[in-house]
Structure 1
Amino acid sequence: MPDIRALQVHVLKAACSSCSVMELCLPIGMTSPEIERLDTLIVQRLKVKKGAALYRAGDELRSLYAVRIGSFKTSVLSIDGREQVTGFQIPGEMLGLDAISTDLHACNAVALEDSEVCPIHFAHLEKLAHELPSLQHSFNKILSREIVRDHDMLMMLGNMNSDERLAAFLLNLSQRLKTRGYSSTDFVLKMRREEIGSYLGLRLETICRGIAHLRDQALVEISGRDVKILDLEGLKQLIAGCHRPPAC
C-alpha cells in the first residue's frame, strides 16, 4: 500500500513548479532550482469554504497567501459597521500584504466561493528572499503592483462617472481572466452586486442602472451573475479618458 504521506508531500512539492498560475505568482522570473526552494515554504494547501474568512482585521501576520483556486474579497468595516470592499482577488494573486507594515491584518479576507490558497510563512519567506535575489525581485514586483492598484482605484473614483466605473471593472476582470486562460467575454461574477457597488463607491440601484445602460449600448449582457461582453473595444472607448483600466 502506498505511503499516503509521501503522496501528499509529492503533490505539495510540485505545488509551484506545476501550478497553472505560477507565472502570475511569486515564482515570476525564478529558475527551476529556485522554485524548488520556494516549494519548501509551502508545507500545505489550505481550503477555504465559501463565506469563510481566511483572516480578519486585527489578526497577527503569520503567512501570505497565494490564491490557487477560487476567489476572495477583502474589506474593512466603517465606524458605523458598514462593509467597504477594498478588492477582489483571483488565482495567481496574493493575500495578506496589508499586514506587513504593522504585523496585523488591516482588513478581512473572505472566500467568494470554495477556494484554495498556498500559505507562505512570512518570516521564512523573508529569510529565503535574502538568499535569492530573484525571489526578492518578484516580491517587490507584487508590492509595486498593489501600489499601482491603489493609484488606479483613486483615479477611478475621482475621474469616472458611474457607467465608466462599471465598464472599467468589467474590462479589468475580463483582462485578468484572459491572462489566466479563461474566456475574456463570457464569465461568471463571483461577487454580489452590492459588493461591486461597495468597491466602486456606488449604490446598488446605480449598479443596476449602469448594467441597463451598458446593455442598451449593446456593450454587455448580464443575466444574474453571468456576463457576456459583446463589444470589448466599446468598453475600452467608454473609459478612454483614463490612461488604463483600474486594477481590482
Structure 2
Amino acid sequence: MPNRARKSDKFGSPPGLQGAGSPPQGFQLHQLKTACSTCSMQELCLPGGLESSEVLAIERLVTARRRLRKGETLYQTREAFLGLYALRFGSTKTAILASDGHEQVSGFHMVGDIVGLDGIGTGEHTCDCSALEDTEVCLLPFAKLEELARHVPSLQQHLHRVMSREIVREHGVMLLLGTMRAEERLAVFLLNLSQRYQRRGYSATEFNLRMTREEIGSFLGLKLETVSRLFSRFQDEGLIEVQQRAVRLVKLDALRCMVQRPL
C-alpha cells in the first residue's frame, strides 16, 4: 500500500520533532513502559481514527513523565509554560491565589484529562496545579505538538475540542456560582463526577472523593460548614451514602431533578 508507506515517512520525523532534548526539571526522560497506542486512557487523550504512524509520531513527543506525591506542585502561577500535561493516573486540582492569600479552587482533574491550557495565551501559567493524590503526568511540549498538529488534521481538531471544552467548563462554573442555590451546586458537582467516572469505565454511582470538603467548598463558593451540612442532609434524605471520602449516589434521578427545576 504505497500511500500508507508515504504517510509513514511523513510522520516518522515531522519538522522540529527529531530530538527529545533535555527533560524539564523534575521530569524523567526514559523509554516509556506504556505506549500511547496501548494506554487505557488513549481515547480520552488522543483523537479517534488515527493511523498507527500518526500515533507513533505522538508517542515520540511523550518522552518525559513526572510523578507527583500528594500535595506536590506540577506548576505554579507565572511559571513558564512548557506544554500540556496528560494525567496518566491520579488527580490534580488547579487554584488561584488571591492577594489576601486565600486559595480559590478553579478545577479538579482526573486520569485522562489534559491540564496546562491556561499557559498557552501568555506563555506562563495563570494558576497553580497540584496533586490530590500520587499522580503521574505525561508532558506534551506545546511547540512540538503544534508542529505535529499541522500534519495531522484530526490532532489539530482534537486540540481545538480540548480548548473548547475548557471554555465550556469555565462557563459552567460561572453559572454554578452565579445562579444556583447551595444544594444545587453540590448536586451538580456530584453528578459531574459521576459522568466523568463513568466515561472512564468506572462506577457512576460509587467513587472516592480525592478532594477535601474544604476544597469542594472553595470550588463551589460555599463555606466548609455549608458543604458538611449539605452532605449530611443529602444522606438523611436518602440521596447519597457517605463514609469518610467514599460516596454512593443512591438516587441519581432525584439529584438530577434537583438541578432541573426552575431556579
Give the TM-score taking structure 1 as reference length: 0.91
1:93 is aligned to 113
List gaps (5 residues or longer) in structure 1: 1-7, 243-248
- Deviation digits for residues 176-226 of structure 1, max 9, x if unmatched? 001101111111100000000000000000101111221122110122111
Distance 1:54 1:236 in 2: 34
SS in 2 for 1:202: coil
Distance 1:28 1:139 in 2: 12
Could you tell me whether the CA contact under 8 Å between 1:26 and 1:139 is conserved in 2? no
**Aligned positions of 1:52-131 closer than 5 A:** 52-131=72-151
Could you tell me whether the CA contact under 8 Å between 1:72 and 1:89 is conserved in 2? yes
SS in 2 for 1:151: helix
2:214 is aligned to 194
Could you tell me whether the CA contact under 8 Å between 1:163 and 1:213 is conserved in 2? no
List gaps (5 residues or longer) in structure 2: 1-29
CA RMSD of aligned residues (A): 1.3
1:132 is aligned to 152
Please tell me whether residue 147 in structure 1 is matched to residue 167 in structure 2: yes
- Deviation digits for residues 65-116 of structure 1, max 9, x if unmatched? 0011000000010110000000000011111100000000000000000001
2:225 is aligned to 205
Structure whose alpha-carbon radius of gyration is higher: 2
Please tell me whether residue 219 in structure 1 is matched to residue 219 in structure 2: no
Percent identity, aligned pairs only? 47
Distance 1:170 1:30 in 2: 33
2:33 is aligned to 11
Distance 2:46 2:78 in 1: 25
Distance 1:10 1:63 in 2: 18
